[in-house]
Each structure stands twice: as structure tokens, then as C-alpha cells.
């Protein structure tokens, strides 16, 4: 009789585990304007030796060029190529028929981040201006639920994120741009805040990613959010500056941050084996030496006489994006080739699905989750 009861209990426990959500937390990381070409193929042979974009071609070649594509990718994005491809899922290698793109008609940052975080396209979001987003992000929607109240947060290098999340209306914790971080009191945070004021950024509206990541890590460890968004920005801005060397070095450092983040998750009670990590980008870039610095659609550039004349078809390919994910709810299938091209707007519902939330109950206009990557 005891054996029968024990056997029944084991079966019941197995059924329960099959029917319960594995991940209680999601960390969503975005790497601004990092091209799918580098993510899947490493350094671009047409740019790495171009002295218009590289200060020391010998140094950059030694760091990142390998004749073999797999070795080249590993040299640039080792965590992606060693861990994510084996234990997680990737989308966006167009040379292999793995396709993903933005849905918005603009192909630049505010519309992209709004699409990622709201799960829908608002064509009126058509600039990078500091205008409060009229649409609710999933951070805001979750923040209204008792089990998520005060458990959503965003850290961003770009100073427009308080407006994208509509911090004033939503009440979501946002730390972005050059804002001091005061939600955690520690010697490390005090030092980081001091260094942020002392180390100049190359840009007036984007801080260095190390501060964004390390503030976010402190928040993760001390406040234990259930949805944390970390938006790194250097790759896009170095590309706009035409510095392919700094763009590659920043991409590799971003990969190192993500490796450290995943290791931290696996070493932290409450997050270990209980957290899904999703990584994506807000837009792509051009594919050639004359346009890789840029991104925008034909429709967007048509509003500028200079843009229309120089790029009459827009920056072709800057709508092409990628996504990677790893965690207890994610299939460990490596690169997948969905039958239909996946869309940026599907990211939000995918996050909600992992958290056990029906996206249609949050917003019926939200795009469907990416079921191809979910267990």
C-alpha cells in the first residue's frame, strides 16, 4: 500500500512539474543596433581592414579575424557561440534562412524599443524625441499586478528610456543616461556613481555600458525583480561614429556582460534554474561600407532631403534583427528556422508567456509569443 501511495505521489509530482511554469523571472537584454552579421559571422571582412573605420587594422585583425567563420564568431561573441547555441536558441542568421525583423516602419531606436516592450506598433512613435510613450509597456502592465508590484525595472545607457517606459505615469523603476543610482546603498554603488561623474562618455546622451550593467546587477542582487530589462547602447553609437574597431570591442564586452549575468543568475538563490534570459536588438544596420553606420527606412529618410538623396531606398537591411534566449522555458535547439519570419513585436508576449501571463488579457493588440522557442 505504501509503495502504491508513493508511486501515486511521484506521478502526481511529475504531472505538476510538467504543468507548472519553470521560470518565475525574466531578464531581457538589448544590444542597441548590433547587426545580425556580427552575431552570427563575427567581424566583417569588408570593414575590419578599412582604414576609414579602423585606427589599427593589424590590432583588430589579430583580435577578431579568423578565416573559419565559427572561429571568427567565437572570437567576437564567445558566450553566444559556446553557450547560447548549445543550451539555448538563436534566431536571425539570414544566410541560414533564419529570419526576424522589426514590424514598425521606421527602423530606429524609440520605435524599436516601444515595439519590443509593448508588443505592438504605434506608427505615431516616429522619432527619438523625449516624448512620453502613450502606450503601456509590459513593465507597466505587470507593475499593476500584486505579484509583480515593484518587481519590474529597466536600466538603460540611453537617456530616452524614462520616456519610452513613461516613468512618470507607470511608476516603473528606471535608471538611464547619466542618472545616479541610489536604490541600493553599498560601497560599490557609491564608487560607481562617483566614477560615472568622473569618466567622460563620448556622447552627451548615452553613458558607458559598464555603468548600466553594474548598476543593473546590483539591483538584481539586492531588489530581486521578476522582470529586469538591461539596455546597452555603445554598439550603436560607436557605429554611428564610424568606429568599427570600438563597435567590435564593445560587442565582445557586451557578450562578456551577458556571460557574467547568466553566471550570476545561476549562482543566486531565487534566480538559479528559475530565470529565462532573452537577448535582442532594436534595429539592424546597413550591410556595406557606405551605409553600415546608419539605419532608417525609406519612409523615415524621405522626411530629410539629404537622407532621401543619399539613400533613396532607405538603409536596406536595417529592419533585420536577431534574438537569443536561454532558460528553463526555452528549447535548447540552437539556431532555428521558423516557417514564417518572426517579428520584433512578438518579444513582449514571449516574455509574458514565460512569466505565465496571457498576453491577450494584458493587451489584445499585442503580437503573439514566439512559440517556436518555448517548451
pLDDT of 21 strictly over 80: no
Closest CA to 324 of 243, 249, 261, 271: 261
Sign (positive or negative) of CA dihedral 365, 126, 139, 22:
positive
What's the whole-number mean pLDDT along residues 348-352?
Answer: 98
Per-residue pLDDT tens for 148-165?
Answer: 999 999 999 999 999 999
pLDDT of 19 strictly over 70: no
> DSSP string spanning 137-177?
PHHHHHHTSTTTTT-EEEEESBTTHHHHTTHHHH--EEEET
Q: Where does the chain show beta strands of DSSP type E?
A: 25-31, 89-91, 100-101, 152-156, 173-176, 227-232, 275-280, 323-326, 334-335, 342-343
Give pLDDT, residue 183: 98
Residue 307 burial by Cβ neighbours in a 10 Å radius (0-12, 13-18, 19+) = middle
> Cα dihedral angle (170, 183, 205, 92), rounded to 10 degrees?
-70
- Asked: is 24-373 a CATH 3.40.190.10 domain? The reply is no
Give pLDDT, residue 11: 39
Count of CA atoms in the C-beta half-sphere (13 A) of 252: 16
pLDDT of 310 strictly over 90: yes
Give pLDDT, residue 22: 52
pLDDT of 144 strictly over 80: yes
Give pLDDT, residue 23: 76
Sign (positive or negative) of CA dihedral 90, 140, 236, 305:
positive
What is the C-alpha separation between 189 and 67, in angstroms, rounded? 42
pLDDT of 125 strictly over 50: yes
What is the C-alpha separation between 27 and 229, in angstroms, rounded? 6
Q: Show the cell assigned to 156.
A: 538603460
What is the C-alpha separation between 92 and 336, in angstroms, rounded? 9
pLDDT of 12 strictly over 70: no
What is the C-alpha separation between 36 and 257, in angstroms, rounded? 18
Domain-wise residue ranges, the chain: 24-373
pLDDT of 14 strictly over 90: no
What is the C-alpha separation between 117 and 56, in angstroms, rounded? 38
The CA-CA-CA angle for residues 332, 334, 335, to 5°, reads: 145
Cα dist from 302 to 115, 124, 283, 286, whole Å: 22, 16, 18, 17
Give pLDDT, residue 1: 38
pLDDT of 344 strictly over 50: yes
Contact 370, 342 (CB under 8 A): yes
What is the C-alpha separation between 214 and 191, in angstroms, rounded? 11
Per-residue pLDDT tens for 226-275?
Answer: 999 999 999 999 999 999 999 999 999 999 999 999 999 999 999 999 99
What is the pLDDT confidence band of residue 13, given thresholds at 50, 70 and 90? very low
pLDDT of 331 strictly over 70: yes
What is the C-alpha separation between 32 and 208, in angstroms, rounded? 13
pLDDT of 17 strictly over 90: no
Give pLDDT, residue 10: 40
pTM for the model stands at 0.94
What is the C-alpha separation between 240 and 291, in angstroms, rounded? 10
pLDDT of 327 strictly over 60: yes
As a whole number, the mean pLDDT across the chain is 94
What is the C-alpha separation between 239 and 32, in angstroms, rounded? 10
Give pLDDT, residue 142: 98
What's the whole-number mean pLDDT along residues 177-183?
Answer: 98
What's the whole-number mean pLDDT along residues 184-206?
Answer: 98
What's the whole-number mean pLDDT along residues 81-103?
Answer: 98
Amino acid at each position: 500500500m505504501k509503495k502504491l501511495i508513493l508511486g501515486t505521489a511521484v506521478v502526481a509530482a511529475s504531472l505538476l512539474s510538467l504543468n507548472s511554469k519553470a521560470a518565475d523571472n525574466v531578464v531581457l537584454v538589448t544590444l542597441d543596433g548590433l547587426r545580425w552579421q556580427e552575431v552570427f559571422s563575427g567581424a566583417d571582412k569588408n570593414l575590419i581592414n578599412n582604414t576609414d573605420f579602423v585606427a589599427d587594422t593589424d590590432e583588430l585583425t589579430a583580435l577578431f579575424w579568423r578565416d573559419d567563420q565559427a572561429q571568427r564568431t567565437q572570437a567576437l561573441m564567445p558566450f553566444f557561440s559556446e553557450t547560447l547555441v548549445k543550451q539555448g536558441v538563436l534566431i536571425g542568421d539570414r544566410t541560414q534562412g533564419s529570419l526576424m525583423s522589426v514590424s514598425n516602419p521606421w527602423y530606429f531606436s524609440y520605435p524599436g524599443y516601444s515595439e519590443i516592450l509593448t508588443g505592438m506598433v504605434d506608427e505615431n512613435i516616429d522619432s527619438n524625441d523625449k516624448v512620453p510613450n502613450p502606450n503601456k509597456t509590459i513593465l507597466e502592465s505587470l507593475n499593476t499586478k500584486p505579484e509583480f508590484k515593484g518587481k519590474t525595472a529597466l536600466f538603460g545607457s540611453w537617456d530616452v528610456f524614462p520616456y519610452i517606459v513613461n516613468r512618470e505615469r507607470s511608476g516603473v523603476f528606471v535608471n538611464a543616461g547619466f542618472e545616479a543610482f541610489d536604490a541600493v546603498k553599498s560601497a560599490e554603488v557609491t564608487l560607481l556613481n562617483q566614477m560615472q561623474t568622473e569618466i567622460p562618455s563620448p556622447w552627451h546622451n548615452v553613458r558607458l555600458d559598464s555603468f548600466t550593467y553594474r548598476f543593473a546587477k546590483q539591483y538584481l542582487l539586492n531588489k530581486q525583480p521578476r522582470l529586469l530589462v538591461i539596455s546597452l547602447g555603445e554598439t550603436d553609437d560607436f557605429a554611428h561614429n564610424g568606429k568599427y574597431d570600438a563597435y567590435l570591442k564593445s560587442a565582445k564586452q557586451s557578450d562578456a556582460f551577458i556571460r557574467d549575468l547568466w553566471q550570476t543568475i545561476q549562482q543566486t538563490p531565487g534566480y538559479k534554474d528559475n530565470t529565462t534570459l532573452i537577448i535582442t536588438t532594436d534595429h539592424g544596420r546597413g550591410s556595406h561600407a557606405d551605409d553600415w553606420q546608419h539605419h532608417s527606412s525609406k519612409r523615415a529618410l524621405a522626411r530629410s532631403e539629404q537622407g532621401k538623396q543619399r539613400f533613396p531606398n532607405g538603409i536596406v537591411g536595417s529592419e533585420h534583427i536577431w534574438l537569443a534566449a536561454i532558460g528553463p522555458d526555452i528549447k535548447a535547439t540552437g539556431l532555428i528556422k521558423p516557417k514564417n519570419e518572426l517579428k520584433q513585436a512578438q518579444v513582449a508576449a514571449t516574455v509574458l508567456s514565460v512569466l505565465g501571463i496571457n498576453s491577450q488579457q494584458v493587451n489584445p493588440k499585442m503580437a503573439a509569443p514566439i512559440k517556436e522557442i518555448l517548451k
